[in-house]
A = this chain, B = another copy of it.
Amino acid sequence: MPEANSPHPMALGVRAAAREIAAKRLGVVEYVAAWLERIGAREAEVGAWQQFDRDLVMAAARRADNEPPRGPLHGIPLAVKDVIDTFDLPTGYGSPIYASHRPVADAACVALARAAGAIVLGKTVTTEFAYFTPGKTTNPHNKAHTPGGSSSGSAAAVGAGMAPLAFGTQTAGSILRPASYCGVVGYKPSFGLVPRAGVKALADSLDTVGVMARNVEDAAFFIGVLTDRRALRDIADSAGLPPRLGFCRTAMWDEAEPATVAALDRARAALLDAGARIDDIPVPDEQRGLVAAQDTIMSYEMTRLLADERLRHPDLISPRLAQLFDHGMTIGAETYDAAVATALTARLRLAAFFGDCAAVVVPAAPGEAPEGHAYTGNPVFNRTWTLLGTPAVTIPAGRGPHGLPVGIQLVGRIGDDARLMECARFAERALAG
């Protein structure tokens, strides 16, 4: 048990909570039950969960209390987006085609998280095959608004305090955008860093597994543990010196609403106050075609990777997804290959884009979460970085005119996730201070 005057265990970061559990100062059952209580209080309004089995969770918590710590996540609750396979819970990919689907194995990322001691709380709502047709989830800050998508349930679960960590996946903007809308940290690691085996494949060149968390340290710690990257796991121990950061409006600046412009201005002022050096980076020519290239590649690949569903179950495909398939079928191989070449060129010029900057700050989303639930918002500010494979993270940067959260996005060098997350932690503190 924690001491009487110590903070409530739910307020601890996951590394600290795991330490308390390992030291037997905090019981897993007690800790997990606190999160379940929060789910009981919030789920009816938020609708973040697709599959949730309280008994299964509590049984896992009791087992965890009766065994030595498995790893650095021992006893830490984890939500799993429902495009990621779990052997003990149905996995529906947001589609009626898979309404009763029960995978025989955990996805690799889930198996690795469990091996490190994480306790799967349940499966979170995804849009249909992580595309644009939404599920039941509402924004935890205002139920009249979308939580964003496609990792809707994961962002809303963390945003509503129902889970400290939640797996998300991103093919266009499915981690960063809902995280920005729900006021949480959303971290898309470098392409390929987190294993994808057992994650429903949509676009093989783009699909990336990442995480939602309440703060940058938790997100970095979780992915660092999963991938055995010590520098990423332990950014809390870094010196936290003021970094040199770029600010780039990107080729999509016309899409930025006043709420996003204001969030970037707030971030710039806070970062300068905290001692960061800021370079204004012009939009590189080679990045101007990337949003279109990403759309081409995603449409082409999804149409082909979902060939079984498209051909055998046309009646169970939503109109929005059917429209994507119709579009995808019109894209020829030459057009696809040209888009891939465009991306490669831009990737080879990333070193010049970053210059001396450790990371570059860009919009995370056009603005606050749109009102209504039919539309999950526009991933226009995320497509470029998913296509390039750079790590990217959104952190909350205040509220917009409707009182909803607005994030900023930091983008880092491919493979240097630790440095990116150190910068994000610096920015998070600057914005809080």
Contact = CB atoms under 8 A, between A and B. Distances in A.
B98 A195 contact: no
Count this chain's copies in the assembly.
Answer: 2
A309 B105 contact: yes
A164 B97 CA distance: 33
A197 B106 contact: no
Contact of A108 (B101, B107, B306): B306
Contact of A104 (B101, B115, B195): B101
A195 B336 CA distance: 14
A229 B335 CA distance: 11
Interface stretch (A8-16, A146-154, A168-176, A198-206): A198-206
Interface of A: 87, 98, 101, 104-108, 110-112, 114-115, 192, 195-198, 201, 204-205, 227-230, 301, 304-312, 332-333, 337, 415
Given A98-B104, A311-B115, A305 B192 contact: no
B192 A112 contact: no
26 contacts: A87-B308, A87-B312, A101-B104, A105-B312, A106-B307, A106-B312, A107-B308, A108-B304, A108-B306, A110-B308, A111-B308, A111-B310, A112-B304, A115-B307, A192-B204, A195-B304, A196-B201, A196-B204, A197-B201, A197-B204, A197-B305, A228-B332, A228-B333, A229-B333, A230-B333, A337-B415
Contacts of A310: 111
Contacts of A308: 87, 105-108, 110-111, 198
Contacts of A201: 108, 195-198
Return the 4 tightest CB-CB contacts between A and B, nearest first.
Answer: A111-B307, A197-B201, A197-B305, A111-B308
Nearest to A301: B195
Q: Which of A115, A196, A201 has the most CB of B within 10 A?
A: A201
Contacts of A101: 104
A204 B195 contact: yes
A8 B18 CA distance: 70
A103 to B, nearest CB: 9
A196 B202 CA distance: 10
A306 B307 CA distance: 25
A336 to B, nearest CB: 9
Contacts of A196: 201, 204
Contacts of A114: 311
A108 B107 CA distance: 19
A25 B312 CA distance: 29
A2 B27 CA distance: 78
A227 B333 contact: yes
Q: Which of A104, A198, A310 has the most CB of B within 10 A?
A: A104
Nearest to A231: B333
A66 to B, nearest CB: 19
A108 B227 contact: no
A248 to B, nearest CB: 25
Contacts of A98: 104
A221 to B, nearest CB: 15
A306 B415 CA distance: 23
A205 B114 CA distance: 24
Nearest to A230: B333
A1 B110 CA distance: 55
Contact of A307 (B112, B229, B333, B337): B112
Contacts of A309: 105
B111 A311 contact: yes
A104 B103 CA distance: 10
A294 to B, nearest CB: 16
Nearest to A229: B333
